[in-house]
Structure formats: structure tokens, C-alpha cells
């Protein structure tokens, strides 16, 4: 029985790669494999898998570098990533998770546990296709934004910028990070153009424009408490 989910396994140890691929296919998943970071990154962008298994120690690009690039690209940032490593040091675990990885498994691990972690990550992804903060909501599937139930007219770039900010409320993003997230690493948009797009988002938000805060010397962030700010102003 097919799960209709496609999983990309980026692992340079052939034996481990083959075992993982075999068990995933046996469980009904379709699988792609890559033996180094650069090929894995290219496959992820080309195939847009439902989940990525990513080894930390890889040739060409390390797993942490691949994770960072995937999470900075709007096309791939929502793909769940489970990092795999022979290392058990706390710094590696924190490093992977801080870059946006969804889970972390230390080798050796059982295939049964890996399958269980994959199911959890895929279930979580399915339930997070709508981002909401206060009365502001983004439907990532329908690609529309609503405020107090009213649909806003955002451009594609504005939607992607707001998506990036709302996906990590409270986190400050530089203009460069927002460019990469909204338009990818092939974008020719310059830093200051981000300000123009942010002004467009704020104009659509009206009184709720305080949901997007300027972080002096850094860039912008989404204020998760903007609804409380509006309430206090009314009072």
C-alpha cells in the first residue's frame, strides 16, 4: 500500500543509504537518494520531496550547510528535515535544530524508530499548512492571506515574505535572509527592495501593520503579540 509520500535520503555511506531506502520502499514510500550535499541540495530543489533524511557529515556540502540553504529558500523551507549523524555531541544536535531541522537521530538507530519519526514529521507538516497569529492567517495551500476573515491582496513576493516571518514568529531576519527565503538564491532583488515589499505588506495589514516589526540594524520580524498590542491601544 502506497503512502504517496516522496522521501529524499542524503547519505554518503552506501550501506546505510541502501538499508534506509529498502525499508522506506517496503513501507510504501517513494525514495530518491544522494550521496553528497551538493547533489542532495539539487535533488531537493528539483523534486520537492515530502521529507528529507539528511546526514550531517557529507562531502562537498555538510548536512548543516544543506539544511541552512533549504530553510532559506521559500520553495523548500517547509519540507521537514530529519538529521542523521554518528555524532552525539549536544552542539551538533543544537546546531541542526537551530537551523530549522525538525528532528535529529544519532546512529546507530533502528529502522522502526526511523519510520515512526518520519510518520510524526509528515503528520506535523500536514497540520501546519495554515499559519495563524491573532486574526492574521496564511493558507499555504490556497495561497491566500486573511485578516479578521477578510482576504488581503498580497503580491506573490509579499506573500512569501510574510510566510517567512510568520513561520518563525519573534525571530529577526536580515534583508538578505528574506531575499533568499522569498525569491531563492537566483534572485536579483537588492536589499532595499525588501523594504518596499514590507511596506506593501504593512499597507494591506492596516492597523495590524504592527505585526511586522522593524529590527534596527538587522531587518524585520513578526511580532507574535501584535494582537495584544492592538487591544491595549484600543483600551
Mean pLDDT of 219-224: 90
Q: What is the pTM of this model?
A: 0.58
Last residue of a domain, one of 67, 97, 126: 126
34/43 Cα distance (integer angstroms):
8
pLDDT at 126: 62
User: Do the Cβ atoms of 53 and 78 come closer than 8 Å?
Assistant: no
105/107 Cα distance (integer angstroms):
7
In this prediction, residue 187 has a pLDDT band, given cuts at 50, 70 and 90, of low
| Cβ neighbours of 203 (radius 10 Å) | 11
Above pLDDT 90, what percent of the chain? 47
- Same domain for 99 and 20, yes or no, is yes
Inside any domain, residue 22 = yes
- Same domain for 142 and 57, yes or no, is no
- What CATH number did the domain enclosing 51 receive? 3.40.50.2300
Query: Is the pLDDT reported for residue 233 higher than 50?
Result: no
- Same domain for 97 and 173, yes or no, is no
Query: Is the pLDDT reported for residue 220 higher than 90?
Result: yes
Q: Is 196 exposed, middle or buried (0-12, 13-18, 19+ CB in 10 A)?
A: exposed
pLDDT at 22: 96
pLDDT at 127: 58
Mean pLDDT of 39-64: 94
Last residue of a domain, one of 126, 147, 168: 126
In this prediction, residue 234 has a pLDDT band, given cuts at 50, 70 and 90, of very low
Mean of per-residue pLDDT scores for the chain: 85
Residues 113-155 pLDDT 10s = 999 999 988 887 765 677 888 788 888 877 889 988 889 999 9
- What CATH number did the domain enclosing 187 receive? 1.10.10.10
In terms of residue numbers, what domain contains 30? 6-126
Inside any domain, residue 1 = no
191/175 Cα distance (integer angstroms):
5
Q: How many domains does the chain contain in total?
A: 2
56/68 Cα distance (integer angstroms):
12
Query: Is the pLDDT reported for residue 51 higher than 90?
Result: yes
User: Do the Cβ atoms of 163 and 212 come closer than 8 Å?
Assistant: no
Inside any domain, residue 189 = yes
Query: Is the pLDDT reported for residue 156 higher than 90?
Result: no
- Same domain for 98 and 22, yes or no, is yes
Inside any domain, residue 45 = yes
Query: Is the pLDDT reported for residue 235 higher than 50?
Result: no
Asked if the bond preceding 108 is cis, omega within 30° of 0, the reply is yes
- Same domain for 51 and 76, yes or no, is yes
Residues 90-109 pLDDT 10s = 677 777 787 888 888 988 89
Amino acid at each position: 500500500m502506497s503512502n504517496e509520500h516522496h522521501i529524499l535520503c542524503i547519505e554518503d555511506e552506501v550501506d546505510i543509504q541502501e538499508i534506509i531506502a529498502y525499508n522506506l520502499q517496503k513501507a510504501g514510500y517513494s525514495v530518491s537518494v544522494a550521496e553528497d550535499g551538493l547533489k542532495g541540495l539539487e535533488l531537493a530543489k528539483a523534486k520537492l520531496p515530502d521529507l528529507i533524511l539528511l546526514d550531517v557529515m557529507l562531502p562537498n556540502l555538510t548536512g548543516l550547510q544543506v539544511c541552512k540553504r533549504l530553510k532559506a529558500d521559500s520553495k523548500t523551507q517547509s519540507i521537514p528535515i530529519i538529521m542523521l549523524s554518528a555524532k552525539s555531541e549536544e552542539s551538533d544536535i543544537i546546531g541542526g535544530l537551530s537551523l530549522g531541522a525538525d528532528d535529529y537521530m544519532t546512529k546507530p538507530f533502528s529502522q522502526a524508530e526511523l519510520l515512526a519519526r518520519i510518520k510524526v514529521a509528515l503528520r506535523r507538516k500536514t497540520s501546519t499548512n495554515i499559519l495563524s497569529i491573532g486574526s492574521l492567517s496564511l493558507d499555504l495551500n490556497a495561497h491566500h492571506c486573511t485578516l479578521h476573515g477578510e482576504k488581503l491582496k498580497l503580491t506573490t513576493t509579499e506573500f512569501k515574505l510574510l510566510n517567512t516571518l510568520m513561520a518563525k514568529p519573534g525571530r529577526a531576519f536580515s534583508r538578505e535572509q528574506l531575499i533568499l527565503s522569498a525569491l531563492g538564491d537566483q534572485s536579483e532583488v537588492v536589499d532595499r527592495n525588501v523594504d518596499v515589499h514590507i511596506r506593501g505588506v504593512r499597507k494591506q495589514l492596516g492597523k495590524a501593520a504592527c505585526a511586522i516589526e522593524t529590527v534596527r540594524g538587522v531587518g524585520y520580524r513578526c511580532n507574535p503579540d501584535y494582537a495584544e498590542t492592538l487591544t491595549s491601544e484600543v483600551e
